[in-house]
C-alpha cells in the first residue's frame, strides 16, 4: 500500500501528501543548494524524522512503564558533507521537562531513543551526537 505521494511543483519545491490522513508537507531546496529556504528541505525532514521517531518510541516506552515525557523538546542540527552531498552528522539535544526521572526511567529513555526505526535505518557512518538534559 502506498504511503506518500510526492509531486514536484517547480522551482525546487515539492508537495508530499500522506495518503492515509491527507496531511501535506511542502519542501523547498535550502539556500545553500540553489533554493529559497522557504520550507523544510528534504534533509531538514530527515533530521525532524529522527527526532520525531525517537520521541515517539520514548513516549511508547514511557507509557508502558508508567511515566510521562509530555513537553519534551528535541533540537536537531544537521552537518552536511560533500562529495557526495549528504548529512554526515546529526546533533540532537533532548530536553526533558523535569528532573524527577529515576535511574530505571533514564535507562529506558536512553535505550528507546537509540532504538527507533529511523535510527535503526541509518548507515553506521552517520554520526549521531546525543545530549540529554533533564529539568527544562
What is the mean predicted confidence (pLDDT) over 79-90?
95
Average pLDDT taken over every residue of the chain: 95
Residues 6 or more apart in contact with residue 1 via CB below 8 angstroms: none
Q: State whether CATH 3.90.1530.10 applies to domain 42-134.
A: no
What is the mean predicted confidence (pLDDT) over 39-64?
96
> How many CB atoms neighbour CB 1 within 10 A?
4
pLDDT in tens, 21-31: 999 999 999 99
- Run of H or E residues at 65: helix 42-65
pLDDT in tens, 109-122: 999 988 899 999 99
Pairing verdict, β 73-81 and 127-134: unpaired
Domain boundaries, the chain: 4-33, 42-134
Amino acid at each position: 500500500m502506498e504511503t506518500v505521494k510526492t509531486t514536484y511543483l517547480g522551482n525546487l519545491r515539492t508537495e508530499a501528501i500522506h495518503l492515509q490522513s491527507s496531511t501535506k508537507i511542502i519542501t523547498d531546496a535550502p539556500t545553500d543548494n540553489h533554493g529559497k529556504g522557504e520550507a523544510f528541505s528534504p534533509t531538514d525532514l530527515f533530521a525532524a524524522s529522527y527526532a520525531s521517531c525517537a520521541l515517539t518510541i520514548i513516549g511508547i516506552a514511557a507509557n508502558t512503564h508508567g511515566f510521562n515525557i509530555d513537553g519534551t523538546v528535541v533540537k536537531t542540527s544537521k552537518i552536511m558533507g560533500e562529495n557526495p552531498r549528504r548529512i554526515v552528522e546529526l546533533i540532537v539535544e533532548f530536553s526533558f521537562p523535569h528532573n524527577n526521572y529515576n535511574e530505571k526511567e533514564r535507562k529506558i529513555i536512553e535505550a528507546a531513543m537509540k532504538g527507533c526505526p529511523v535510527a535503526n535505518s541509518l548507515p553506521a557512518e552517520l554520526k549521531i551526537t546525543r545530549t540529554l538534559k533533564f529539568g527544562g
